[in-house]
């Protein structure tokens, strides 16, 4: 068939239905995406590395199987974030150090997606080593926000979010340590989810039990997100923290209509300034849970140690994973990465002990909080998309931040307490920029998170605002 560009507007679930009915083939979809990328990616720079030849070879092999044996994704194409290895495909981690790196083997996550019928056709742009919630690097340059191309797409899964928002992907992979799935989802008007620790198996690097960062799904709506989470999930012996697949699919959970009875909203989680317009829009969206019969109250768990705790544990993670690069390739690292590694190398055992104890205490208080509430709601970011030239948010509502990650406290506090969370589109600023509502459930509560988010998504009625063509600065 000729490339049907109308397909870019279809949901991922609808595309999988078309694949399973034989209405379209995986090769048809690759043709559609290749044309769409040619038309729009030059304006936003979301997918700097393409591998359509590899994807078509995989598609032809998949199409030799009966349709019913092609996996959950049935031949659905998707991009992989450029931090994650794909066999035979340039994987730079956004760093000049790896500008020519072609892995010999894919990450476990990629192998799982391909075994479930996913076709990898591109790598999505990311900041260097995923550091900093603004997607730019010295290898490929900056990724621009399609709602206003003078603005940041956030990060670190910025390329993935922009690909979804512009119709260059139906589903996309991302990862999240300090909000890297949730921040770009908020800035770009799509859905990004940080699952529970172990929900998505991946290849361990540097440390078996590194768990601040997790892999997760991105999509344009909650049900599509659940579909990709189903395709990602499941245990693997090479990832000792990985969890077995649940008996009921996440897509079924999203479709269940299960409603929360009591939800909490907090504009700031008690730890951060927030742009007043963002707070007002997210509060209004959260209050609409009442239309589903839920009690909505203003409350949050005690997360007062989040900034100190995250600063220490993040720095330690950078030290164990990047210290060798600092010694050998310092001149090729961006200043923020150097700072993070050096902060980690200065840590004492006493600081690490204190940070781990803080994390345990905050998690215990959060679990107690969820005995009273089904979900916790808060802004997914504290500001609207900022000018792309700004490396990070230095100030909000009159408060100046001490470092380049402190503005992310509203998301990294949730990282620390081990909860699954997603960013749900909930409205727009007066200037027409997207706003994301962070929806949080207790640890391993993805099913209730997806069900509740879908209920609110239906009430808010903003799920069909993407994909869009990139829009120039206003």
Active site residues: 81, 156, 180
Asked if residue 156 has a cis previous peptide bond (ω within 30° of 0), the answer is yes
Distance of CA 297 to the CA centre of its chain: 27
Distances (CA, A) of 401 to 138, 322, 373: 25, 25, 31
The phi, psi pair for 430, rounded to 5°, reads -60, -25
Four-point Cα dihedral 188, 190, 196, 197, nearest 10: -40
For residues 311 and 343, is the Cβ–Cβ distance under 8 A? yes
Listed in sequence order, the DSSP H helices in 169-217 are: 182-188
The SS3 call for residue 446 is helix
Helix ranges restricted to H, 265-348: 276-287, 306-329, 335-345
Looking only at the bridges linking them, the beta strands covering 118-124 and 76-81 are parallel
Main-chain dihedrals φ then ψ at residue 149, nearest 5 degrees = -70, 0
Q: Name the maximum alpha-carbon separation found in the chain.
A: 64
> Judging by beta carbons within 10 Å of its beta carbon (0-12, 13-18, 19+), is residue 347 exposed, middle or buried?
middle
Please tell me the distance from the alpha carbon of residue 384 to that of residue 334, in angstroms, as a whole number: 25
Closest CA to 425 of 109, 101, 161, 175: 161
What residue ranges in 113-247 does DSSP mark as E strands?
Answer: 118-124, 136-137, 141-142, 171-176, 191-194, 214-219
Residue 420 · residue 446 · CB < 8 Å? yes
Three-state SS string across 387-402, please?
A: ECCCCCCCEECCEECC
Strand partners, 238: none
| C-alpha span between 224 and 254 (Å, rounded) | 9
């Amino acid at each position: 068939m000729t490339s049907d560009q109308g397909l870019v507007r279809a949901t991922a679930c609808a595309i999988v239905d078309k694949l399973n009915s034989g209405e379209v083939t995986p090769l048809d979809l690759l043709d559609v995406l290749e044309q769409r990328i040619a038309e729009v990616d030059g304006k936003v720079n979301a997918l700097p590395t393409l591998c359509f030849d590899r994807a078509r070879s995989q598609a032809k092999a998949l199409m030799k199987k009966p349709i019913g044996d092609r996996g959950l994704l049935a031949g659905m194409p998707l991009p992989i974030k450029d931090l994650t290895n794909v066999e035979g495909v340039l994987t730079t981690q956004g760093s000049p150090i790896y500008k020519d790196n072609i892995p010999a083997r894919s990450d476990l996550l990629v192998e799982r997606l391909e075994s479930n019928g996913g076709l990898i056709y591109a790598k999505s742009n990311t900041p260097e080593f995923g550091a900093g919630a603004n997607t730019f690097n010295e290898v490929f340059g900056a990724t621009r926000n399609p709602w206003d191309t003078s603005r940041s797409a956030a990060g670190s899964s910025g390329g993935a979010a922009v690909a979804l928002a512009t119709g260059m992907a139906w589903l996309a992979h991302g990862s999240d340590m300090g909000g890297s799935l949730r921040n770009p989802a908020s800035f770009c008007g799509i859905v990004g989810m940080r699952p529970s620790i172990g929900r998505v198996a991946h290849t361990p690097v540097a440390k078996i039990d590194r768990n601040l960062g997790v892999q997760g799904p991105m999509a344009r709506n909650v049900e599509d997100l659940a579909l990709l989470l189903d395709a990602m999930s499941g245990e693997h012996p090479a990832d000792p923290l990985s969890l077995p697949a649940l008996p009921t699919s996440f897509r079924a959970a999203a479709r269940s209509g299960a409603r929360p009875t009591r939800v909490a909203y907090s504009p700031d989680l008690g730890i951060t300034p927030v742009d007043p317009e963002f707070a007002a829009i997210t509060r209004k969206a959260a209050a609409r849970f009442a239309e589903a019969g839920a009690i909505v109250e203003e409350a949050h768990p005690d997360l007062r140690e989040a900034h100190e705790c995250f600063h220490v544990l993040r720095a330690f993670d950078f030290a164990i994973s990047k210290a060798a690069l600092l010694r050998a390739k310092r001149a090729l690292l961006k200043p923020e990465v150097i700072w993070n590694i050096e902060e980690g190398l200065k840590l004492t055992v006493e600081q690490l002990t204190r940070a781990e104890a803080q994390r345990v205490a905050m998690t215990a208080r959060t679990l107690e909080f969820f005995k009273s509430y089904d979900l916790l709601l808060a802004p997914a970011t504290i500001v609207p998309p900022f000018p792309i030239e700004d490396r990070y948010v230095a100030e909000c509502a009159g408060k100046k931040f001490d470092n380049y990650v402190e503005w992310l406290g509203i998301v990294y506090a949730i990282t620390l307490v081990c909860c699954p969370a997603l960013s749900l589109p909930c409205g727009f600023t007066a200037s027409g920029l997207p706003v994301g509502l962070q929806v949080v459930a207790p640890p391993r509560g993805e099913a209730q998170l997806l069900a509740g988010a879908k209920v609110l998504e239906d009430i808010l009625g903003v799920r069909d605002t993407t994909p869009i063509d990139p829009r120039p600065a206003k």
